[in-house]
Structure 1
């Protein structure tokens, strides 16, 4: 059955991404995981295939498409079983949308097009040592001084932060609370900008993650995105796409884990029969399949509303939480079915077990999602 969300263009894209994944990624992904970074050349490869600019306007170097083209790409790339790969390749998808939405033509030419062409790496800088999901408590300061802002502070857990050429930074230009937050693009060669350290993580090994420090960084006023005080609103719109993307990663990762568990259960024998010959295994697999299908269907439904121009904040939070919590359960069961092999690096489920744990934290924790749901549902 063909789902109403997809047409021939989605099928062609899926085949194209599958071919690229099989040729350019899967033969090398274990090497990149061990190196804890992906090669910069891969950005160029992805750009030439038109994948870095998917969902961006044509005037900035993107490709006109809908939300489901992005979902198709994520689903296919997730079959590499490396969330770190996607996080590193597409860190610009949380760094560039505010520039596309609020930036001037000159800012888009400087900060958007080169990234979509694979010539620059872009990151988003929100989280600080003492402020994560509590965005209104951001403390990195940007004080106006003539034609520049003087920026002081620190950011942490910044995806692609070690190698980023530019950072869309959330800074405080005004008083306390949401209204004092603005966005500045800070280029990595700015004096006073430095990578304090590369963070080593449980998972997402293929993406570099940094702690950044700003010490009297002089950033031109022309690098401000939008007006002063517009940062929080732009960030909240950005979060909706990010959270939808995390939901897609979650059910896609769980689907890979299920496929790996089913294959292993059919091949592995115990007490003279395959693991699928035991009711307990079949029931585990049935539950896993059921949960993946439910999360996928709900995420598609929410994506369709976004595609139609709606802004379903509560439902996006529901989709993220539902998919991420389902993913934790399914991946855990996949490891259990593999037994001791599920703990070995050579098996995909081991990497998925480490990588998927962050999905319930990134883009707003499960607890924050529940607060958002409660607020928008009025209870």
Structure 2
């Protein structure tokens, strides 16, 4: 791991030590079983909640610590990837989904939903993607029809992270067929009639992260489970995109750093033609270049974390961070696998699993192509220009 000075202070490093202890005790021994099962055990959320690692930003009245400093979340990501598994999605629960309840929920909704989420007793997910829509939220077909006392929800979602474990799913649905941008956010809870889970989806990587299909057949969602206004969901979702992409960037850079460290250990021990693989010039130069690229990128991401803490991270910069870190992650891990030789193709070596896990980073949280479109628009470039 790089010894370069970073943005963390003494309190962060003490927190890091506690996170490492938690992961080594509660996650590391379970990783192989979870990857084989295609899903982590839901009990890890409760243990993390008891440790104070969930919804750290939430007010104490709602079970949090009232600490909004993004660096604490960054540490959880870094150490979960290093000592646990990249597919244990505590952060999606804590930092992507729960904030919608905090921002948009009324007092009753927050009091009902957030404390259990902070304790890990109510696992959260968000359902946007549908078969055939991908990143095109405007193409969503799931719809909610207003009825007395609530809404009737119909439709299907796919690729939903935490989909199997989730007790509460925030569902994006069309609310007015006459208005192309009228969407609402509906809190669907485990046990509601008509709410069914489909397959646990088998994936190329992220084996321990449960991903599922969800189906809604005439699900009655009471008015008390509508978040915000019924026609403003797209605007609400846009508010959280910069943070989501920063989280993705933090994940990619941490994953890349672990891959580099794993490879450094390997080439120092593995011998070929009578000397360590790390002694060959190609190996030394490849790893030296990747170390330099990684340090430069990490420095920039750390700056963006501090800008986000100050409320100054904009959508285009977050898109740039997500784009470049995911590309670096995939390039670096590919070259690290190459330096493992035939061993890199074997499942028993961690670099093999990391290679599979990394590929989705250029797809989720907005594809690389969508990131390029966002960046291009920030430069005043449009597909059709006068």
Give the TM-score band, short-chain normalised. Answer: over 0.9
Gaps of 5+ in 1: none
2: distance between equivalents of 1:323 and 1:2? 18
Match of 2:81 in 1: 78
The within-5 A match list for 1:122-271 is 122-175=124-177, 179-271=181-273
Paired residue secondary structure (2:341)? helix
Q: Does the 8 A contact of 1:88 with 1:160 survive in 2?
A: no
CA change 1:276–1:197 in 2 (3 A) is same
TM-score (norm 2): 0.94
Q: Does the 8 A contact of 1:88 with 1:207 survive in 2?
A: no
Q: Does the 8 A contact of 2:304 with 2:313 survive in 1?
A: no
Gaps of 5+ in 2: 382-386
The within-5 A match list for 1:300-339 is 300-339=302-341
Match of 1:109 in 2: 111
Match of 2:384 in 1: none
State which drifts further: 257-266 or 132-141: 132-141
CA change 1:177–1:29 in 2 (3 A) is farther
The Cα shift of 1:60 comes to 1.7
1: distance between equivalents of 2:193 and 2:229? 24
CA change 1:369–1:184 in 2 (3 A) is same
Match of 2:28 in 1: 26
1: distance between equivalents of 2:93 and 2:162? 7
TM-score (norm 1): 0.96
Q: Does the 8 A contact of 1:147 with 1:221 survive in 2?
A: yes
1: distance between equivalents of 2:291 and 2:180? 42
CA change 1:60–1:164 in 2 (3 A) is same
The Cα shift of 1:56 comes to 2.7
Q: Does the 8 A contact of 2:45 with 2:90 survive in 1?
A: no
Q: Does the 8 A contact of 2:241 with 2:315 survive in 1?
A: no
Report the RMSD for the aligned CA atoms in angstroms. Answer: 1.6
Corresponding residue to 1:69 among 59, 68, 72? 72
Q: Does the 8 A contact of 1:52 with 1:90 survive in 2?
A: no
Query: What does the per-residue CA deviation read over 1:170-211, in whole Å, with 9 as the maximum and x for residues that have no partner?
Result: 111124666301101011211111012211111111111111
The Cα shift of 1:57 comes to 2.9
The Cα shift of 1:311 comes to 3.7
Matched, 1:274 2:270: no
The Cα shift of 1:3 comes to 4.5
CA change 1:176–1:286 in 2 (3 A) is farther
